[in-house]
Amino acid sequence: MTPEQYCQEKAAKSGSSFYYSFLFLPTERRKAITALYAFCREVDDVVDECTDPTIAATKLAWWRQEVAKMKAGEPTHPVTKAMAPYQQSYGVTAERLSEIIDGMQMDLEQTRYLDFKGLRLYCYRVASVVGLMAAEIFGRTHQDTLAYAEQLGLALQLTNIIRDVGEDARKGRVYLPIEDLQKFNVPVQQILQYKGGAEFEALMKFQTERAREHYRKAYSLLPKADRKAQRAGLIMASIYSDLLREIERNGYKVLNERTSLTPLRKLWVAWRTWITSKPAPV
């Protein structure tokens, strides 16, 4: 199996919405973003699948060394071998990859966030940094496109957090800021016990609107000249905007259910966005 085949298999097996945004890309750009996504899956799996934090920390340390080897021209893992050619051409740099690992390290060291400022740093590391590299891979001509990518990464990660409240609680994690829980009178223990209610629904409406604000800000920053090149990112935005609406229609039952879109619906949204170069409304 070649490094590219390994990454392709990793991406396809994940069943993620991101995979649908890659389908329409030219071959070389598709290879680059698939390799980057495979890396994100590898380090994310370390945190999600290792029940022993010490082992997880050791594995993340290994990945830090592997990223350094890639920078030195000596990668050993299929994923870093697949990413190596794109360090200069598409900005898939060791520094940015290390920052993603920093975000994963945060998951090992804390399970709560006092305020949105702290959560935003986490989102920047695990999502916005990915967005910055993705924007380079997709192609850009304006600096503002990077500001768009940073905001879009934040919006996508906030959507993930909304969708996964119950799933994360089962792992002992609550990403919703403590200041927001207090504002809406929702104790952490209520989330850990998967109990909804009017206060929880109001909290989730607030979180949803915050995510939508960042989608809107991202769209406002994207230069018209780069809109066509950035269609893969806009596909993700469209799919996740649809997901937010589905969660909303379902009454924010995220504590005990995991809302998702069917593969056919994702493919339809992807095709529609690719043709129009416009994201779904938020």
Q: What is the pTM of this model?
A: 0.93
Quick one: which H or E segment has residue 243?
Answer: helix 231-249
Give the C-alpha separation, 217 to 276, whole Å. Answer: 20
- 114-151 pLDDT, tens digit per residue, is 999 999 999 999 999 999 999 999 999 999 999 999 99
User: Does position 83 have pLDDT exceeding 80, yes or no?
Assistant: yes
Cα(138)–Cα(74) distance, integer angstroms:
26
Write down the residue that tokens 């085949």 correspond to. Answer: 5
Residue 7 to residue 36: CA distance in whole angstroms: 9
pLDDT digits (tens, 9 = 90+) for 166-190: 999 999 999 999 999 999 999 999 9
pLDDT digit string, tens, across residues 180-225: 999 999 999 999 999 989 999 999 999 999 999 999 999 999 999 9
CB 194 within 8 A of CB 188: no
Sort 184 into a burial class: Cβ within 10 Å, 0-12 / 13-18 / 19+: middle
Q: Which residues contact 165 (CB under 8 A, 6 or more apart)?
A: 174, 175, 176, 191, 204, 254, 255
Does pLDDT of 40 surpass 70?
yes
